[in-house]
Amino acid sequence: MWKYEKKLQYPVNIKNKDLKMAKYLVTQYGGSNGELAAALRYLNQRYTMPDEKGKALLTDIGTEELSHVEIISAMVYQLMKDATPEELRAVDMGGHFAEHGNALYPTDANGVPFTVKYFATTGDPIADLQEDMAAEEKARAVYENLINLTNDPDVIAPLSFLRQREIIHFQRFKELHDEYKARGL
């Protein structure tokens, strides 16, 4: 079912440590509008889609979202590489260090841990697709906010790529939503 290529969907090569940006960016890893929530939402919802087209779309986008988790993880890791406990304390990440060292842990930018409450499913394909479209729009907005928090081109480039993918995902969900509505599902 899956073909795993041992490379990121978009290359990440961040040269400058930026702990504040890492703290902000982690929200797209474990926050309510992040990539992990999206991947799990879509991979869960696919089972109640009324046809193979819907199941395939949610599987395709859900697995792509997992590749986005990899991109975000690589970015956060590179932004935090070789950070000292003192540097982490200076950006209010001492609690993170106490619990996880320099490892990634799925939280939002405020340190709130990931929860399954972030992804919704009703079993109604129209309601679920509307949820998915809203999720993509919220993720797009967060990427725009993150882009506005940095001037590092090595950070902006992958964020811009991910933002564009949110727009494409929204469009694919809207097409399926509109088709299902027209069919009276």
Phi, psi of 113 (to 5 degrees): -65, 150
6: DSSP letter? S
Q: 152: helix, coil or strand?
A: coil
pLDDT digits (tens, 9 = 90+) for 133-144: 999 999 999 999
| Residue 42 banded pLDDT, cuts 50, 70, 90 | very high
pLDDT digits (tens, 9 = 90+) for 96-105: 889 988 889 9
User: Span 78-83, mean pLDDT?
Assistant: 94
pLDDT at 85: 93
Domains of the chain: 19-115+123-183 (1.20.1260.10)
Q: Which two tokens stand for residue 13?
A: 């090569």
Identify the sign of the CA torsion 36, 11, 111, 144: negative
Q: Which two tokens stand for residue 7?
A: 């490379």
Location of structure tokens 């991109």: 71
pLDDT at 73 over 60: yes
| Residue 2 banded pLDDT, cuts 50, 70, 90 | low
Phi, psi of 107 (to 5 degrees): -140, 175
* Percent of all residues in the chain with a pLDDT value above 70, rounded to a whole number: 99
Tell me the C-alpha distance between 93 and 23, whole Å. Answer: 8
**What sections of the chain are H helices per DSSP?**
19-25, 27-30, 35-45, 52-80, 85-90, 94-100, 125-148, 153-183
pLDDT at 5: 76
pLDDT digits (tens, 9 = 90+) for 88-134: 999 999 888 899 888 899 999 998 999 998 888 899 999 999 999 99
pLDDT at 6: 82
Closest CA to 34 of 61, 69, 58, 59: 69
pLDDT at 4: 75
User: Span 158-165, mean pLDDT?
Assistant: 98
Tell me the C-alpha distance between 23 and 88, whole Å. Answer: 10
